[in-house]
């Protein structure tokens, strides 16, 4: 039987065909009027996609490059920062803070959970330079409440900058960047915007620009002030990933096209799409007898699923790949073998989710030996889709 490869990983995610065509055709030199027009167009689109009046910069690097830039550009050695961590990506903020000699106060939540606001309030010191967090912690598929952390910072007397890794949050979560006061919000190309890895984008508030003037940590390739100056002219400081920029433009056109050409509305539709697919996946897998790893605060970017005691989640990952060509991902670090993760961000539709659940029915029965009634997972998901359709 034919097995189509179907990517269900939370980055890289499935590619949009229109973006692939745009990338294949993008043999443009980056110091030309043609590229400048493209770059300016994409930067303007990104502002709408992020939903902010702040500057949005585009960097040629994976998401971690923009995370590093938001430490190196905003802090000085010895600065106190607050890091909220509940997974592998939160731990990356801790490592970055250390790499740039910041003094990191750390609020930790167990894997699969989110933060206790009281603990965050207590840990936020008046001299904190910045608070670093994820919008969605992809390693555990947990959504953190950015709005309430933002409010808590506003109500404190700290004046700390709020820096949010929205790499899987953008396109799966609604943000009010300017209303809440998010100073830096970071996205990555291989997540909800349906193109390959290699670009990161970030919004930067006026408060963050001002903070950069006094920040003393070293930076060279990721000098945001230099990028801002160049971006005004439609350029980047160094050779950008030209083909990816063309692909990103096509992907943002597609997202706008889903809402009659209105990118702001298209972004909302993309978020709703991820949320509905995530809800349907949770309903389907729960109906099959699986336990969700993050039931209290599930992300729409991905769903983390626990496997029954005594079973290695790698067995599920392997069986889905070998039998159906369906690629999901194992847990990271200590979570390896305990969970598997299924993505919903970007170019997924309800029929993709039904395909996944159909495959999971076979895996649950034949690989894990669970009692399965065929159609039970699919039926639970169909109900979620039907409700979503009737309420929209
Ligand atoms: C994918 C991802 C990143 C970035 O990882 P890169 O490999 O550098 O692209 C950062 N944070 C989160 C939450 C992610 O999901």
Work out which ligand 1 atom sits closest to the CA atom of 135: 13
Domain boundary among 257, 281, 303: 257
How far apart are the CA of 183 and the centre of ligand 1, in A?
Answer: 19
- 257 has pLDDT over 90: yes
Write down the pLDDT at residue 368. Answer: 95
Share of the chain above pLDDT 70, in %: 100
286 and 246 inside one domain: no
User: Using 50, 70 and 90 to split pLDDT, how confident is the model at 330?
Assistant: very high
154 and 185 inside one domain: yes
126 and 232 inside one domain: yes
- 392 has pLDDT over 90: no
Query: How many other CB atoms are there within 10 angstroms of residue 155's CB atom?
Result: 10
330 and 213 inside one domain: no
Write down the pLDDT at residue 87. Answer: 98
205 and 286 inside one domain: no
Task: Give a yes or no: residue 85 inside a domain.
Answer: yes
Closest CA to 240 of 229, 225, 250, 227: 227
Domain with 198 in it: 17-257
- Specify the number of domains making up the chain: 2
User: Is the beta carbon of 138 within 6 A of some atom in ligand 1?
Assistant: yes
User: Is the beta carbon of 331 within 6 A of some atom in ligand 1?
Assistant: no
Work out which ligand 1 atom sits closest to the CA atom of 188: 9
User: Is the beta carbon of 73 within 6 A of some atom in ligand 1?
Assistant: no
- Tens-digit pLDDT profile for residues 371-380: 999 999 999 9
**Mean pLDDT of the region 166-182:** 98
How far apart are the CA of 307 and the centre of ligand 1, in A?
Answer: 24
Best residue among 64, 187, 190 to mutate for probing ligand 1's pocket (most ligand atoms within 8 Å of CB) is 64
Task: Give a yes or no: residue 349 inside a domain.
Answer: yes
Provide the whole-model pTM: 0.98
Share of the chain above pLDDT 90, in %: 98
b/e code 348-375 from CB counts within 10 Å (16+ = b): bebebbbbbbbbbbebbeebbeeebeee
User: Is the beta carbon of 187 within 6 A of some atom in ligand 1?
Assistant: no
Task: Give a yes or no: residue 137 inside a domain.
Answer: yes
Q: Are 86 and 108 in contact (CB under 8 A)?
A: yes
Domain boundary among 199, 225, 257: 257
User: Is the beta carbon of 11 within 6 A of some atom in ligand 1?
Assistant: yes
165 and 312 inside one domain: no
How far apart are the CA of 295 and the centre of ligand 1, in A?
Answer: 22
Task: Give a yes or no: residue 1 inside a domain.
Answer: no
141 and 286 inside one domain: no
Q: Are 193 and 171 in contact (CB under 8 A)?
A: yes
Write down the pLDDT at residue 36. Answer: 98
How far apart are the CA of 242 and the centre of ligand 1, in A?
Answer: 21
User: Using 50, 70 and 90 to split pLDDT, how confident is the model at 308?
Assistant: confident
- Tens-digit pLDDT profile for residues 64-85: 999 999 999 999 999 999 999 9
Write down the pLDDT at residue 1. Answer: 83
157 and 222 inside one domain: yes
- Tens-digit pLDDT profile for residues 105-154: 999 999 999 999 999 999 999 999 999 999 999 999 999 999 999 999 99
246 and 272 inside one domain: no
How far is residue 55 CA from its own chain's centroid?
19
247 and 271 inside one domain: no
- 298 has pLDDT over 90: yes
User: Is the beta carbon of 165 within 6 A of some atom in ligand 1?
Assistant: yes
What CATH number should be reported for the domain holding residue 35?
3.40.640.10
CA separation, residue 8 to residues 129, 247, 266, 339, 355 (Å): 37, 20, 22, 14, 11
Task: Give a yes or no: residue 89 inside a domain.
Answer: yes
SS (H, E, C) the chain: CCCCCEECCCCCCCCCHHHHHHHHCCCCCCCCHHHHHHHHHHHHHHHHHHCCCCEEEEECCCHHHHHHHHHHCCCCCCCEEEEEECCHHHHHHHHHHHHCCCEEEEEECCCCCCCCHHHHHHHCCCCCCEEEEECEECCCCEECCHHHHHHHHHHCCCCCEEEEECCCCECCECCCHHHHCCCEEEEECCCCCCCCCCCEEEEECHHHHHHHHHCCCCCCCCCHHHHHHHHCCCCCCCCCCHHHHHHHHHHHHHHHHCCCCCHHHHHHHHHHHHHHHHHHHHHHHHHCCCEECCCCCECCCEEEEECCCCCCHHHHHHHHHHHHCEECEECCHHHCCCEEEEECCCCCCHHHHHHHHHHHHHHHHHHCCCCCCCCHHHHHHHHHHHHHHHHC
347 and 382 inside one domain: yes
Closest CA to 13 of 196, 140, 199: 196
Backbone angles phi, psi at 8, to 5 degrees: -125, 35
- Tens-digit pLDDT profile for residues 261-290: 999 999 999 999 999 999 999 999 999 999
Write down the pLDDT at residue 157. Answer: 84
- Tens-digit pLDDT profile for residues 346-364: 999 999 999 999 999 999 9
Best residue among 137, 138, 300 to mutate for probing ligand 1's pocket (most ligand atoms within 8 Å of CB) is 138
- Tens-digit pLDDT profile for residues 4-54: 999 999 999 999 999 999 999 999 999 999 999 999 999 999 999 999 999
What CATH number should be reported for the domain holding residue 286?
3.90.1150.10
How far apart are the CA of 350 and the centre of ligand 1, in A?
Answer: 25
**Mean pLDDT of the region 59-64:** 98
Write down the pLDDT at residue 62. Answer: 98
272 and 251 inside one domain: no
Domain boundary among 206, 232, 257: 257
**Mean pLDDT of the region 329-337:** 96
Residue whose CA is closest, atom 14 of ligand 1?
167
């Amino acid at each position: 039987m034919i097995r189509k490869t179907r990517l269900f990983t939370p980055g890289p995610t499935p590619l949009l065909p229109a973006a692939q065509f745009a990338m294949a055709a993008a043999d443009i030199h980056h110091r030309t009027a043609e590229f400048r027009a493209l770059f300016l167009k994409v930067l303007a689109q990104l502002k709408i996609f992020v939903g902010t009046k702040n500057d949005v910069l585009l960097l040629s690097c994976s998401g971690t490059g923009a995370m590093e830039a938001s430490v190196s550009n905003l802090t000085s050695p010895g600065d106190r920062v607050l890091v909220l961590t509940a997974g592998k990506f939160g731990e990356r903020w801790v490592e970055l803070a250390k790499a740039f000699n910041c003094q990191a106060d750390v609020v930790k939540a167990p894997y699969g959970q989110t933060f206790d606001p009281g603990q965050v309030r207590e840990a936020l010191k008046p001299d904190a330079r910045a608070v670093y967090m994820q919008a969605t912690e992809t390693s555990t598929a947990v959504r953190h409440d950015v709005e309430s952390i933002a409010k808590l910072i506003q109500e404190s007397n700290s004046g700390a900058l709020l820096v949010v890794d929205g790499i899987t949050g953008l396109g799966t979560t609604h943000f009010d960047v300017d209303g809440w006061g998010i100073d830096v919000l970071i996205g990555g190309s291989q997540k909800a915007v349906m193109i390959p890895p290699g670009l990161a984008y970030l919004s930067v508030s006026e408060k963050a620009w001002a903070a950069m003037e006094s920040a003393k940590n070293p930076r060279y390739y990721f000098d945001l002030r230099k990028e801002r100056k160049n971006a005004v002219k439609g350029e980047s400081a160094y050779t950008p990933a030209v083909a990816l920029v063309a692909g990103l433009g096509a992907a943002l056109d597609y997202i706008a096209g889903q809402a009659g050409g209105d990118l702001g509305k298209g972004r909302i539709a993309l978020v709703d799409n991820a949320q509905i697919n995530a809800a349907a996946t949770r309903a389907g897998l729960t109906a099959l007898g699986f336990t969700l790893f993050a039931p209290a605060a599930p992300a729409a970017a991905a769903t983390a699923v626990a496997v029954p005691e005594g079973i290695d989640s790698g067995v599920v990952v392997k069986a889905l790949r070998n039998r159906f060509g369906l690629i999901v991902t194992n847990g990271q670090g200590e979570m390896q073998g305990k969970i598997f993760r299924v993505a919903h961000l970007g170019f997924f539709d309800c029929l993709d989710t039904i395909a996944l659940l159909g495959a999971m029915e076979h895996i649950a029965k034949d690989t894990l030996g669970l009692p399965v009634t065929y159609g039970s997972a699919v039926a639970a998901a169909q109900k979620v889709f039907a409700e979503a359709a009737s309420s929209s």
